[in-house]
Structure 1
Amino acid sequence: MTRYVIPIAPKPQSRPRFTRNGRAYELKEMTDWKKVVALHLRGKQPELIAKGAIMMCMTFYVYPPQTVSKAKTKRPLENRELEKIFVDKRPDTDNYVKALLDASDGILFKDDGQIAAMTAQKLYSLNPRIEIVIEEMGK
């Protein structure tokens, strides 16, 4: 089991854009975000899982709006309290997952088709980041 912390705010996968000729392309901000995530992962020198089924657990920590951080207590919540509150707003969790899998493909695993089991969750935090736990299955 290997754990990675990427100190970058999560970003959901954007919808493809199309040129007048009908060619699809990705927004530059999305491409840049994926490059930065890949750079952070490569810096940790992960061992590529070339074959076999893997399990991946992802936690996306997103910065809370003021309405959440002060809502029920009438005082600012501490980060450890915030990190227990699940995000029930957009963007969808699967869009965060898609962006992360695209960025880590070929770095953590050879192909995202190897992922046999996966969990993902969104939580609030004053320290936006992505935490990944990846484990080979059947060992």
Structure 2
Amino acid sequence: MLKFTIPIEPKGKKEARRKRNGHTYKDPETREYMEAIAQIVRAQYRGPPLYGPLKVEYHCYRPRPKSAGKSVWAATRPDWDNYAKALGDALQGILWVEDSRIADGRVLKLYAQDENPRIEIMVSELDELQGSSK
């Protein structure tokens, strides 16, 4: 299993923006966020992109607002799947050939207990014959 820690606050992927002339473009903030993720993981991983099938788990630790009390679960926006979209796309060509190779995925939205926002990523290859992790 491969493990990575990205020491930045998790953000969800925003939808593409549309100009008045009909052309679409990526939100600049989302693009910068995804580039930062890619740069950090490139510094931690030197191997070739994995072909898969893959199992991926994302632990997204957000800063705790005062209104959250003692809860560990960040049951607020953005939606969990927007985290997965941003991370899957950002790491395409770095950790995996393409994010469609992720066959089993999980996203946990958590509040950082230590006031240290971050993203932890665990990746493992699935056994083709048995469907189990290596």
Sort the TM-score into its range (normalised by shorter chain): 0.7 to 0.9
User: Per-residue CA shift, 1:23-75, capped at 9, x if unaligned?
Assistant: 1111211111111110001001242344231100111000111112xx36xxx
Which structure has the larger Rg over C-alpha atoms? 1
Q: Normalising by the residue count of structure 1, what TM-score does the alignment of the two structures yield?
A: 0.85
Q: How does 1:1-139 map to 2 (within 5 A)?
A: 1-68=1-68, 71=69, 85-125=72-112, 126-138=115-127, 139=134
Which of structures 1 and 2 has the larger relative contact order (alpha carbons within 8 angstroms, sep 6+)? Answer: 1
CA contact (8 A) 1:93 1:122 kept: yes
1:46 and 1:108 in contact (8 A); partners too: no
> RMSD value over aligned CA atoms?
1.4
Percent identity reads 37
**Structure 2 counterpart of 1:79:** none
Which 4+ residue blocks in structure 1 deviate beyond 6 angstroms?
A: none
Amino acid at match of 1:16: A
Query: How many Å apart are 1:128 and its aligned residue?
Result: 0.5
Using the size of structure 2 for normalisation, the TM-score is 0.88
Alignment length (residue pairs): 126
- Tell whether the 8 Å contact from 1:58 to 1:131 is kept in structure 2 after alignment: yes
- For structure 1, list consecutive stretches of 5 or more residues without a partner in the other structure: 73-81
